[in-house]
Amino acid sequence: MKAVVLQSVLTCPHCGHAQQETMPTDACQFFYECTACHALLRPKPGDCCVFCSFGSVPCPPIQQQRECCG
């Protein structure tokens, strides 16, 4: 089985700011406040969390091909 990546770079769709964050392994992250413009990011329709919508790496459950926070 492939190793799970816990670091993801979130890119704000409003201002383009990119910030590396550590993904939680025990919960979905539904909200994220951009550290530059303070926009509150929410998952896009069909995505389970902000990392799957705006991150460079999807969340750990998706990486492991498991259901996420469903």
Residues 17-70 pLDDT 10s: 999 999 998 778 999 999 999 999 999 999 999 999 999 999 998 898 887 765
Q: Which domain holds residue 26?
A: 7-63
Residue 24 lies in a domain: yes
Q: Give the per-residue pLDDT at 1.
A: 60
- How far apart are the C-alpha atoms of 33 and 18, rounded to whole Å? 12
Residue 54 lies in a domain: yes
Residue 1 lies in a domain: no
Domains in the chain, number: 1
Q: Give the per-residue pLDDT at 70.
A: 53
Q: Give the per-residue pLDDT at 69.
A: 66
Residue 40 lies in a domain: yes
Residue 15 lies in a domain: yes
- How far apart are the C-alpha atoms of 53 and 44, rounded to whole Å? 6
Task: Please give the model's pTM, rounded to 2 decimal places.
Answer: 0.89
Residue 68 lies in a domain: no
